[in-house]
């Protein structure tokens, strides 16, 4: 396209374009949006509904955090070194997942598989630490049935852990599909959804380590 109009070089310009170019589908001109935009939008709506579900669990935890029924509280249970390590593992996993999406964009099978493998290993490390933490709590008699605080804690953090587990299964499936089917469009769209899911899990974890683990330290 050889239009010299200013808008042609400005992807953030809203509204119909005077040149009538086909590229700004989101602004209402230029026909239906490309499929990956529609797929990404649909999956983004799912992620937001998931975030709203987590917000209910966060609210439950915030309301019940002080109801300990004489049982152990956060000061006796939480070990911030574990939390810091878990945070680092999940953040790095999210970053390497971004590298995988770049390798994917360049259709590089080796780097895609390698970075996905590292993503999965970091995620598995996170899950191992979390499972060990949970087992330690239960061994101390601080299982989910001990108090309302612990019920809410296990529900919120455990729900995130289940999401990470599901993400790991999805990741393995994506590695197999990319290997077997190559960089087909539908495989790439599934992968786009997976990266959205994995990054969103890290955003939820930011909320958990801040609002559950760190704030518990400053509360009485």
Question: Site for another protein (CB under 8 A): which residue of 55, 109, 128, 145?
Answer: 55
CB-facing half-sphere around the CA of 161: CA atoms within 13 A: 17
Q: How many CB atoms lie within 10 A of CB 46?
A: 13
Stretch binding another protein (CB under 8 A), from 57-65, 70-78, 135-143, 160-168: 57-65
Nearest CA to 193 out of 27, 37, 25, 2 is that of 37
Q: Does 37 bind another protein (CB under 8 A)?
A: yes
Question: Site for another protein (CB under 8 A): which residue of 25, 113, 151, 177?
Answer: 25
* Cα 43 to Cα 82: distance, rounded to the nearest angstrom: 32
Minimum distance from residue 43 beta carbon to another protein (Å): 10
Question: Are the C-beta atoms of residues 13 and 7 closer than 8 Å to each other?
Answer: yes
Which residue shows structure tokens 């259709």?
107
Stretch binding another protein (CB under 8 A), from 23-31, 71-79, 126-134, 161-169: 23-31
Largest CA distance in the chain: 74
Question: Are the C-beta atoms of residues 171 and 116 closer than 8 Å to each other?
Answer: yes
Please work out the total of residues on this chain that contact another protein, with binding judged by CB under 8 A.
Answer: 68
Q: Does 180 bind another protein (CB under 8 A)?
A: no
Q: Running DSSP on this structure, what letter comes out for residue 68?
A: -
Minimum distance from residue 16 beta carbon to another protein (Å): 11
User: Tokens representing 109?
Assistant: 């099978």
Q: What is residue 70's three-state secondary structure? A: coil
Q: Does 86 bind another protein (CB under 8 A)?
A: no
Q: Does 132 bind another protein (CB under 8 A)?
A: no
The residues binding another protein (CB under 8 A) are 1, 11-14, 23-27, 33-37, 40-41, 44-45, 48, 51-52, 55-56, 58-60, 62-63, 80, 84, 87-88, 91-92, 94-95, 98-99, 101-102, 104-107, 182-185, 188, 191-192, 195-196, 199-200, 202-203, 206-207, 209-211, 214-215, 217-219
């Amino acid at each position: 396209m050889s239009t010299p109009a200013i808008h042609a070089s400005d992807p953030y310009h809203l509204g119909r374009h005077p040149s009538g170019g086909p590229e700004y589908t989101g602004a209402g001109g230029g026909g239906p949006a490309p499929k990956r935009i529609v797929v990404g939008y649909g999956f983004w709506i799912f992620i937001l509904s998931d975030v709203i579900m987590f917000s209910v669990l966060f609210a439950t935890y915030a309301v019940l955090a002080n109801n300990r029924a004489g049982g152990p509280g956060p000061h006796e249970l939480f070990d911030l070194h574990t939390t810091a390590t878990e945070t680092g593992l999940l953040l790095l996993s999210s970053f390497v997942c971004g590298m995988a999406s770049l390798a994917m964009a360049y259709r590089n099978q080796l780097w895609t598989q390698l970075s996905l493998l590292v993503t999965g290993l970091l995620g598995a490390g996170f899950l191992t630490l979390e499972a060990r933490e949970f087992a330690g709590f239960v061994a101390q008699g601080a299982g989910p049935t001990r108090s309302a605080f612990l019920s809410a804690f296990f529900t919120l953090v455990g729900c995130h852990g289940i999401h990470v587990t599901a993400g790991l299964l999805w990741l393995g499936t994506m590695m197999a599909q990319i290997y077997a089917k190559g960089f087909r469009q539908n495989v790439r769209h599934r992968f786009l959804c997976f990266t959205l899911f994995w990054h969103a899990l890290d955003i939820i974890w930011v909320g958990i380590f801040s609002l559950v683990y760190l704030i518990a330290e400053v509360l009485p």
